[in-house]
Structure 1
């Protein structure tokens, strides 16, 4: 036995005994040994995965791919890990050599198509996905679904997406993903009956599908009798459901249906359970980290050149659930304004650089970055002069936006913070909105936003930032909208009376609310739940500061 073999066997024995750090230290020198490097890296990869250290696992997988670039298992593992972390360029770099060596292998073409879609390279994605379809019948339906996602989410062509999903269903009539995606698009387009039928079709194929059952709750307004029937259907699924995310979906849905029929005690019970499940898998809201982001933003003082663009963004920011979608629908009823929705580009490009002002400035000056945002605006403009961007986190980048687009206007939506906190608590939100599972954390996030808002107001003034109060808007729309349109340099033409009939997709939690005329029932909503918050010790302690605000 060679010394290297002895060391390897000794390290493996230590790992089997649970002495991970000792085993790893013994193995490290063998990563430079051609005979043992691959085996050692396999072990390192498995250990990193067991420790849920995805970033390190990706690094080890990259090394394995560099040693054996044609091993499909290594490449596909790297691709899946990279996709799960949003590292799409790593996935593409791993796949391209494999594709060049095997251009007629359908699964490689399919994976490349998925990656190119994630990178917003529509032409390349379509080419690879269609190639996968031609090479293998196995990939026909998955490729059609991927192409549909691209048309809906990136090219903003929902009708094309519907076409591809219908083709997928022709080839596989019981494909759950295709039926669910089709129902989702119909919901975004405001086609209530088609959306309802689509989710019911999913349940006809899979009676215990929690997501489809939950989505039905948003489509209808429930009576007490309907709510009880719906409750029984959800509880049947919950008895067998082991997934925390799916369980949270159903509890949020149950809260919504009992809120509809004004059974606020039962609604609160289910909303609390929903947030308990949501907390299990969301990252913890760390107040210190949020305060540091605020401090970094307030301290920034940078200079950028104006972008060369014929389109001007209208930035709508503020707290989630404060009326931003409603305002977007109203102002984009004007033919000179196109609804851009929540454009992820700025936040996804800049957020990780907030703590490093030099890196942030370097990124913001790159022509690729500037042109990338212009492309996103152009894609949504439909020939309009202005495009809204209502990504909530854009309040962090107003200095960058105003330097790139000096004529940009900022609309800041606000709402009674008690109602706002409650509305966020009632929604199943993702990791970036993890404050929503706690009423006091939502108040803390609001307070940090207000610090930043005051800073921008002192810097840009009232000619560039207009505050829209949701409660004032629904009570006296013209008192808000006439000066708002004047602020935008446009004339108000009674858009408040017609916005709910506006066609086009809406892809936020307010999808059905903004299809209705203005209503006041959400103002003062906190009062409906005050008794139940106060009678629940944990909820009361969480909401104590909010109650006094």
Structure 2
């Protein structure tokens, strides 16, 4: 027996005895031995997976792929593992050599198409997905659905997306994903009847589909009788549902339904349950980390050159649920302003560098970065001179934006923080908005935003307009005349026609902005005050907020 064989045998024995760290240390040197590398890496990968150390597992899997690039199982494992933790580039780089060897393999084409879509590479995504659709009947419908996502989300062509989804449904009439995606697009377009029929069709195929049931709640305004019927059907779904995300969806929907019929006690009961489920899988809100991000933003001093662009962004920022979508709908009713929606580009490119000023500056200076954002604006402009970007996190990058686009205007939306906190608490939000599950955490996040706002006002005060939602709904003409004057445009009754505006809206305010201006959301906190105070835990959580 060679010394390497002896070491390998000894390492396996140690692992079997539960002496994991010792076994790992013996195996690591063997990963550089051509005879034992593959076996050692296989074991190290399994150990890393057992320890739920995904980053290390990916590293070992990459090494397996490098020494055995033709073994599809290794590549597939690396792809699935990378995708599960958002490492899209790793997954893509693992698949490309296989594609180059066999470009006629439909499953590889399909996976590459999905990855390129998630990387916002629309042209590459469509190329791969179209190949998969043509190469294999098995991938025809899934590829058509993915192609529809590209047209709707990246290319902003909802009509084309609808056509591809209709083709998918024609080929597979019971495809839940296609029906749901179609209903979702009609919802974004504000077509209430078609959206409702679409989600109802999903429930015909799957009577216990929690997501479709939850989405129906947003479409209608419920009476007390309707609410009881909806509650009965929803509770039946909850009895069978084990997924925490789906349960949260249903409970948020039930809260909305009982809020509609002004049964605030029951609505509060369901909203509390919804946030209980949401907390189970959201990362905990880290106040210290948020304060560090604020400090990094306040302390940096980056110098950039102006970007060469004929299009000027209008940045709409502030707290989530503070009226940003409403403002975008109103001002983009003016023909010189196009609605860009929440453009993810700046935040996704810059956020991970926010704690390293040099790296952030270098990124912001890259022509590839500046050209990339310009392309996002052009894609949405449709001939307009201005494009809105209402990604909430953009308040972190106003120094970068104002240097690249000196003429950029910033609209900072605000509303009574008690109403704002409650509105966020009533929405099923994702990991980046994890403060919303706690009224006090929302207040903390707001206070950090206000620190940054004061800083930017000292630098760019003339180009920042604070728009107060409560003032807007009370005196729309007065507020909007001031806003349009700030933008250098003439106000022409946009408040009277914004709700009839065509185009997609893909935020939680999709149905609210399809209505004329209304005041019922202003002062909404009063409806829930006694229920918060009666709920001891919630009262303690809201104590600081109530003192505002």
TM-score range, shorter chain: over 0.9
The answer on 1:539 being equivalent to 2:538 is yes
Q: Alignment partner of 2:173: what SS?
A: coil
TM superposition shift of 1:116: 1.8
Q: Distance in 2 between matches of 1:178 and 1:247?
A: 22
Q: Alignment partner of 2:198: what SS?
A: helix
Q: Distance in 1 between matches of 2:102 and 2:341?
A: 40
Q: Alignment partner of 1:316: what SS?
A: strand
TM superposition shift of 1:499: 0.2
Counterpart position of 2:271? 271
Q: Alignment partner of 2:454: what SS?
A: helix
Counterpart position of 2:55? 55
TM normalised by structure 1 equals 0.98
Q: Distance in 2 between matches of 1:250 and 1:137?
A: 35
The answer on 1:238 being equivalent to 2:230 is no
Counterpart position of 1:341? 341
Q: Alignment partner of 1:65: what SS?
A: helix
Residue range with higher mean Cα deviation, 35-44 or 292-301: 35-44
Q: Distance in 1 between matches of 2:398 and 2:49?
A: 39
Q: Distance in 2 between matches of 1:227 and 1:70?
A: 57
Q: Distance in 1 between matches of 2:177 and 2:412?
A: 37
Equivalences for residues 463-502 of structure 1 within 5 A: 463-502=462-501
Q: Distance in 2 between matches of 1:317 and 1:21?
A: 49
Q: Distance in 2 between matches of 1:17 and 1:212?
A: 50
Q: Alignment partner of 2:384: what SS?
A: coil
Q: Distance in 1 between matches of 2:173 and 2:166?
A: 9
Counterpart position of 1:364? 364
Q: What is the number of residues matched between the two proteins?
A: 548
Q: Distance in 2 between matches of 1:263 and 1:69?
A: 61
Counterpart position of 2:219? 219
Q: Alignment partner of 2:134: what SS?
A: helix
Counterpart position of 1:528? 527
Q: Distance in 2 between matches of 1:17 and 1:211?
A: 46
Residue range with higher mean Cα deviation, 483-492 or 36-45: 36-45
Q: Distance in 1 between matches of 2:48 and 2:464?
A: 47
Q: Alignment partner of 1:198: what SS?
A: helix
Counterpart position of 2:326? 326
TM superposition shift of 1:50: 2.8
C-alpha deviations, 1:125-170, integer Å up to 9, x for none? 2111111112111010011011000000000000000000000011
Q: Distance in 1 between matches of 2:324 and 2:50?
A: 42
Q: Distance in 1 between matches of 2:447 and 2:150?
A: 37
Q: Distance in 1 between matches of 2:19 and 2:206?
A: 45
Equivalences for residues 83-232 of structure 1 within 5 A: 83-232=83-232
Q: Distance in 2 between matches of 1:57 and 1:493?
A: 59
TM superposition shift of 1:73: 1.6
Counterpart position of 1:417? 417
TM superposition shift of 1:57: 2.1
Q: Distance in 2 between matches of 1:16 and 1:442?
A: 49
Q: Alignment partner of 1:490: what SS?
A: coil
TM superposition shift of 1:85: 3.0
C-alpha deviations, 1:316-375, integer Å up to 9, x for none? 000000000000000000000000000000000000000000000000000000000001
Q: Distance in 1 between matches of 2:329 and 2:295?
A: 33
C-alpha deviations, 1:69-105, integer Å up to 9, x for none? 1211221222222233332222221111111111111
Q: Distance in 2 between matches of 1:166 and 1:411?
A: 39
Q: Alignment partner of 2:315: what SS?
A: strand
Counterpart position of 2:251? 251
Q: Alignment partner of 1:303: what SS?
A: coil
Which ranges of 4 or more aligned residues in structure 1 deviate by more than 6 Å?
none
Counterpart position of 1:317? 317
TM superposition shift of 1:120: 2.2
Please list every run of 5 or more consecutive structure 2 residues that lacks an aligned counterpart in the other structure: none
Residue range with higher mean Cα deviation, 123-132 or 283-292: 123-132
Equivalences for residues 387-398 of structure 1 within 5 A: 387-398=387-398
TM superposition shift of 1:301: 0.7
Q: Distance in 1 between matches of 2:294 and 2:497?
A: 38
TM superposition shift of 1:118: 1.9
Residue range with higher mean Cα deviation, 194-203 or 52-61: 52-61
Q: Alignment partner of 2:128: what SS?
A: helix
Equivalences for residues 369-448 of structure 1 within 5 A: 369-448=369-448
C-alpha deviations, 1:274-319, integer Å up to 9, x for none? 1011001000100000000000000011100000011000000000
TM normalised by structure 2 equals 0.98
Q: Distance in 2 between matches of 1:337 and 1:428?
A: 30
Q: Distance in 1 between matches of 2:10 and 2:405?
A: 63
Counterpart position of 2:28? 28
The answer on 1:519 being equivalent to 2:518 is yes
C-alpha deviations, 1:369-389, integer Å up to 9, x for none? 000000100110111000000
Q: Alignment partner of 1:411: what SS?
A: strand
Q: Distance in 1 between matches of 2:271 and 2:17?
A: 45
Residue range with higher mean Cα deviation, 172-181 or 41-50: 41-50
Equivalences for residues 62-81 of structure 1 within 5 A: 62-81=62-81
The answer on 1:14 being equivalent to 2:24 is no
Q: Distance in 2 between matches of 1:18 and 1:242?
A: 34
Please list every run of 5 or more consecutive structure 1 residues that lacks an aligned counterpart in the other structure: none
Q: Alignment partner of 1:328: what SS?
A: helix
